[in-house]
Amino acid sequence: MVLVGARTLVTWVDLPEGTGFGIGNLPLGVFLGGGRPGFRHGVRIGDRVLDLFAVTGLPVHATGTLDPFLVAGPGAWRTLREQVTEWLTGVRHRARVEPHLLPIDEVRMCRPIGVPNYVDFYSSKAHAQNVGRLFRPDADPLPPNWRHLPIGYHGRAGTVVVSGTPVVRPCGQLGPPTGGLPPFGPTARLDLEAEVGFVVGAPSEPGERVPVADLAEHVFGACLVNDWSARDLQAWEYQPLGPFLGKSFQTSMSPWVVPLAALGAARVPPPARDTELLPYLRDDGDPWGLDLALEVRINGQLVSRPPFRDMYWTPAQQLAHLTVNGASTLPGELFASGTVSGTSPEEWGSLLELTANGTRPLTLADGSTRTFLEDGDTVSITATAPGPGDSSLGFGEVSGQVLPARA
Ligand SMILES: O=C(O)/C=C/C(=O)CC(=O)CC(=O)O
Ligand SMILES: [Ca+2]
Ligand SMILES: [Mg+2]
C-alpha cells in the first residue's frame, strides 16, 4: 500500500516483503525472453516484469531501447505511468494484465537506452578532494574552477554496457618510462566508481540551454553506474586532457530506469554552496538534491555506503551546464554524477579512496584483503530511496565480474 498524493494505492500483484519495486516505483527497462519474441519494454513490479508491448499493443514498446518511447516526452511518460498504475491497482484489469506479468528470472535484461552520448561528471566534493590529494599532493585538492561549474568529460558511449556484463581487465601504458619505455601490460589498479546516472528522454535542440528548472522536462529517470577505472593508466595519461583509456574500456549501468516521477519523496536540498553561482546554475527555487543511499559490495561483502544526498552539484545543474554552450542532447543519452563519496571513510565510492591509492588494504569479511580489484571479483552497487508514503524505492543493481586480461 502506497500513498500517492491524496490517493492510497494498493496493487493486486503479490509483492515480496521489502521489495523496492512497489507500485510507487514502476521503473522501465528492456528485456528479451519470457517466451516472447524480440525486444520488449517492461515495467518492474515486485519480482515480475510487465510486458508493455503485450499489454498496450504499441510497436514503440517492442524496440531494442526505450529511446523511441522516451522521445515522446513528459506527457507520454505521465500517461503511461498513470495507465500502468491503473492496470496494476484496478482489480477489474487483473484478468487481462496478469498473463503479461513475467517472472524476473525468465527474462534477460538488456541495456535500456541507446547511449548516443555519455558524459561523466565529478560532482562529489569529498571525492574530488580525496582524488586531488592522492593524484596532485602539491596542489590545492579542489581545482579553482570546481566550485563554479560541474566539471565533467565526454566518455566513450559505445562501451556502456548493462549490468551483468563481465569486465575484461584492460591493458595499457602503466606509467612513465622506467628504462627507456613506459611499462605496458594489464592494469594492476583496476577500480570501481559508484555513481548515479541520468537518462535524457526528451532531447534539447542545438543552441537551446536547458534551465535548471527544466530537468524533468528532459530527463526521464535515474539508474546506477559503475565507471570502471584503471588508475595506473589514468594517472599516466590524464594530463592535460582528462580521462581517456583509463576509463573508456567499459562503463556499466543498471537495467532499470527509475522515473524522476517516482523520486518526489527523495528530493532534498543539496549541501550549502560555498560561493555565489552564475545565474544559469542557481537552483534556490526547487533544487534537485536526491536522498539515494548507495551500497557497494565486493563478492557480496559491503565495503561502502555512499550518500548521494551529499552531492554538491545536482543533475539539474549538470544538465544546465552541459547545454549552456548550445550543445544539443539526444534521446537515450546518459550523464553520470561522478563518483559518489561522503565525508567519512566508510562512505567513499572508489577503492582509490578506500585504500588510499593502494597503500592501506581493505580487509573483507572473509579475511582476504584488497587494494584494487582482482580477477574473479564481482562488484555490485545497489541503492534505495524514500518513496511515496513510507515506502522505499529500489534501483536494482549494477554488477560485473572482473575477467583476466587478454593475452
Ligand atoms: O581528479 C582526477 O584527476 C580524476 C578523477 C576521476 O577519476 C574522474 C572521474 O571519473 C570523475 C568522477 O567519477 O567523479
Ligand atoms: Ca567517474
Ligand atoms: Mg568508465
User: Per-residue DSSP letters for 329-367?
Assistant: B-TT-EEE------SSGGG--BHHHHTTTTTSPEEPTTS
In the numeric block, which cell numbers belong to residue 4? Answer: 500517492
Residues above pLDDT 90, as percent of the chain = 95
Neighbouring residues of the ion ligand 3, judged by CB less than 5 Å: 227, 247, 251
Residue 1 binned pLDDT confidence (cut-offs 50, 70, 90): low
Mean per-residue pLDDT over the chain, rounded: 96
pLDDT value of position 365: 84
Interval 395-406 mean pLDDT: 98
Residue whose CB lies within 8 A of the most ligand 1 atoms, among 121, 123, 193, 229, for a mutation test: 193
Using alpha carbons only, give the angle 85, 72, 5 rounded to the nearest 5 degrees.
Answer: 30
| 118-403 CATH choice from 3.40.50.12280, 3.90.850.10, 3.10.580.10, 3.40.50.1220 | 3.90.850.10
pLDDT(105) > 70: yes
Interval 46-72 mean pLDDT: 98
- Mind listing the pLDDT tens digit for each residue in 314-335? 999 999 999 999 999 999 999 9
Domain boundaries, the chain: 2-110, 118-403
Interval 167-182 mean pLDDT: 96
State the binding site for substrate. Answer: 122, 136, 234, 238, 339
2-110 and 118-403 share one CATH topology? no
Interval 163-185 mean pLDDT: 97
Ligand 1 atom closest to residue 229's alpha carbon, by position in its atom list = 7
Query: Does residue 286 or residue 1 have the better pLDDT?
Result: 286
**Contact between 382 and 225 (Cβ < 8 Å):** no
pLDDT value of position 7: 66
Residue 8 binned pLDDT confidence (cut-offs 50, 70, 90): confident
15 CB-contact burial (10 Å; exposed 0-12 / middle 13-18 / buried 19+): middle
- Mind listing the pLDDT tens digit for each residue in 321-380? 999 999 999 999 999 999 999 999 999 999 999 999 999 999 998 899 999 999 999 999
Interval 92-99 mean pLDDT: 98
pLDDT value of position 389: 86
Is the CB of 338 inside a 6 Å radius of any atom of ligand 1?
A: yes
Residue whose CB lies within 8 A of the most ligand 1 atoms, among 244, 296, 339, for a mutation test: 339
pLDDT value of position 4: 61
Q: For residue 72, which amino acid is it?
A: A
Interval 252-277 mean pLDDT: 97
Interval 66-95 mean pLDDT: 98
Residue 6 binned pLDDT confidence (cut-offs 50, 70, 90): low
Dist CA 335 CA 323 (whole Å): 12
- Mind listing the pLDDT tens digit for each residue in 185-201? 999 999 999 999 999 99
Residue 232 binned pLDDT confidence (cut-offs 50, 70, 90): very high
Residue 3 binned pLDDT confidence (cut-offs 50, 70, 90): low
**Contact between 377 and 357 (Cβ < 8 Å):** no
- Mind listing the pLDDT tens digit for each residue in 136-166? 999 999 999 999 999 999 999 999 999 999 9
Overall fold of domain 2-110: SH3 type barrels. (2.30.30)
Q: What global pTM score does this model have? A: 0.97
